[in-house]
Amino acid sequence: MSTSTSVTFGEGALSRAAALIHTLVTVEALLLLAAAPGLAGLLLVGPDASNLPLAAVCLLPLGPALSAALYALHHRDRDLADLHPARTYWRGWRLNALPALKLWTPLLAWLTVVAFTLTHFSATGLPGWWAVLLAAIGAGSLLWGAHALVLTSLFAFRARDTARLAAYFLFRHGRATLGAASLLVLVAGLTALLTEALPALLAAPLLLSLLHSGRPVIAETQEDFTV
């Protein structure tokens, strides 16, 4: 007596891999399209530290674009025969553009203040350990922003509630925070050693990794903070 199993189209490992690649490529292209106005502006802004406020303004469209990408990757289809990543991305953009900007804008403003102070630190007359403290605060703000971006992309909380949850999870789930930190180090390394364009071109897989490392945060939020 023999038994045989049949795998329908779209259910095999190769099909799932093809579906993931298709989703990543589509989300990457749409992310770059949504952030294109700001990225184009960055090309016109010189590398001088005095242009940091202008660079921050150019980065404003990136927040909603990243949020929509996280939404699309989280809600991605595994079935190759039923893929709609573009539709899911734009749904995420419509849902999350304003909530993301409510958190992304003050985060950018604060990071601009930190970066401007560090680049002009010699003029402040402060002791050197202040620079170390400011750099640590800036890094902590980026990690908080990573959690906040995931939360605002997947849940419909008020901005202040998202901000509080992001701060809570910063220490509550150390592995998730460490995962976000490793991604930030990777992005910084790619930018410094190669080109600043490379992290933008790899944004979709980097965001998928952020979702993977943030699974404990997502699971606890769903279980304890949603109805």
pLDDT at 10: 54
AA identity, residue 3: T
How crowded is the C-beta side of 34, counted as CA atoms within 13 Å? 26
* CA gap 116, 120 in Å, rounded: 6
The alpha carbon torsion through 146, 219, 102, 143 (nearest 10 deg) reads -20
Q: What is the pLDDT of residue 120?
A: 85
Helix (H, G, I), strand (E, B), or coil: what is residue 193? helix
SS3 assignment, position 10? coil
Question: What is residue 184's predicted lDDT score, i.e. its pLDDT?
Answer: 94
Q: What is the pLDDT along the chain (227 residues), one digit of tens a residue?
A: 444 444 454 566 787 888 899 999 999 999 999 999 999 998 888 777 788 999 999 999 999 999 999 999 999 876 666 688 999 999 999 999 999 999 999 999 999 999 999 988 888 777 888 999 999 999 999 999 999 999 999 999 999 999 999 999 999 999 999 999 999 999 999 888 888 888 999 999 999 999 999 999 999 999 999 87
Q: What is the pLDDT of residue 14?
A: 82
